[in-house]
A = this chain, B = another copy of it.
Amino acid sequence: MKRFIVMIVMLGVSGAFFCQTKPGSAKVAPNGQSIPEGFENWRLIAPSMRSDNNTIRAVLGNDAAIEAARTGRTNPWPDGAIMAKLVWKARFHEAWATATIPGDFVHVEFMEKNSKRLAQTGGWGFSRWLGKELKPYGKDADFAKECFGCHTPRKSSDYVFTFPAVIP
């Protein structure tokens, strides 16, 4: 019996170890969006930089987004496409003075396309996850209005700022 209990405890401990999930993976944003699994392994759409807030960025896409980006079908983007914008504070490279590289991780933002379910916000679901802990941004579901407001001037480009980079 004792050996049986020890085995159960060991199984529990190893289970807890192997079932560790990504920070934030079980979290839900105030508008119901959650973090797409495996986004850190998505492929590149384009890097970018912003001098107004001194950040450097990379936009990645899930398979549907990459297929659309690389075949020029991005106006509109297809339902099912999700983009992840990873944002870091920009810093200078200590061994190359004119190079700017990622410093601290700031946040990751997602745009998920579903033209029917998300019609009220241009067919896109927005979410933002702060810091390495991926803490959901926004006090209530209205936070997505802030995202959508910023993206509205890009209506003629299906509300997306990112142009897929040329990748041979």
Chain A contact residues, CB within 8 Å of chain B: 22-24, 40-44, 46-52, 56-58, 60, 86, 88, 90, 93, 95-96, 98-102, 104-105, 108, 131-134, 153-154, 161-163, 165-168
Q: Chain copies in the assembly?
A: 2
Q: A6 to nearest B CB, angstroms?
A: 31
> Once the chains bind, are A48 and B44 in contact (CB under 8 Å)?
no
Question: Chain B residues near A167 (CB, 8 Å)?
Answer: 40, 86, 105
> Once the chains bind, are A98 and B50 in contact (CB under 8 Å)?
yes
Task: A24 to B44: give the CA distance in the assembly, Å.
Answer: 21
The 4 closest A-B pairs by CB, nearest first: A47-B47, A52-B98, A102-B165, A105-B166
Q: Which residue of B lies closest to A165 (CB)?
A: B102
> Once the chains bind, are B161 and A93 in contact (CB under 8 Å)?
yes
